[in-house]
Amino acid sequence: MSMSKRLKRGCYYCLAGLTLVITLSTLGFLSFDENISYQEALLVSQNNTYSLDGTRKYFQIALKDKTIKTILVPSTANCKRGTYIQISVRHSLLTGKDIYSFVGCNLNK
């Protein structure tokens, strides 16, 4: 294969990759509702998982409607079981589900 054909093929792959990255990032930005709400949830339990790439920490939380969710939290999060934590809720337009994220521990309850 000649050098010019390799160069053209390389440019084609580069442009295709760039187009894919732009498309996926645009879908990522458009996939969530703009409204973020904040609420409290009861910390039911916490678990650590260990792997070669580090430790992951999960909280099991009870929402106001008594449903139980598991959320990933920073490994430095140090909330006491039985207390309320602050979470954010975003609605995914792609899946139609709510996404729960850890915000912080509530120290005043």
Instruction: Kindly report, residue by residue over 7-52, the tens digit of the pLDDT.
Output: 778 777 878 888 877 766 655 555 555 678 999 999 999 999 998 8
> What is the spatial distance between Cα 54 and Cα 36, in angstroms, rounded to a whole number?
29
> What is the spatial distance between Cα 42 and Cα 61, in angstroms, rounded to a whole number?
5
- Phi and psi at 67, nearest 5°, equal -75, 145
SS (H, E, C) 9-75: HHHHHHHHHHHHHHHHHHHHHHCEEEEEEEEEEEEEEEEEEEECCEEEEEEEEECCCCCEEEEEECC
- Phi and psi at 28, nearest 5°, equal -65, -40
Instruction: Kindly report, residue by residue over 76-89, the tens digit of the pLDDT.
Output: 999 999 999 999 99
For residue 77, what pLDDT is reported?
92
For residue 4, what pLDDT is reported?
79
Contact 86, 105 (CB under 8 A): yes
Residue 108 has pLDDT above 90, yes or no: no
Average pLDDT of the segment spanning 48-71: 94
For residue 89, what pLDDT is reported?
94
Residue 94 has pLDDT above 60, yes or no: yes
pTM for the model stands at: 0.65
**How much is the mean pLDDT over the chain?**
84
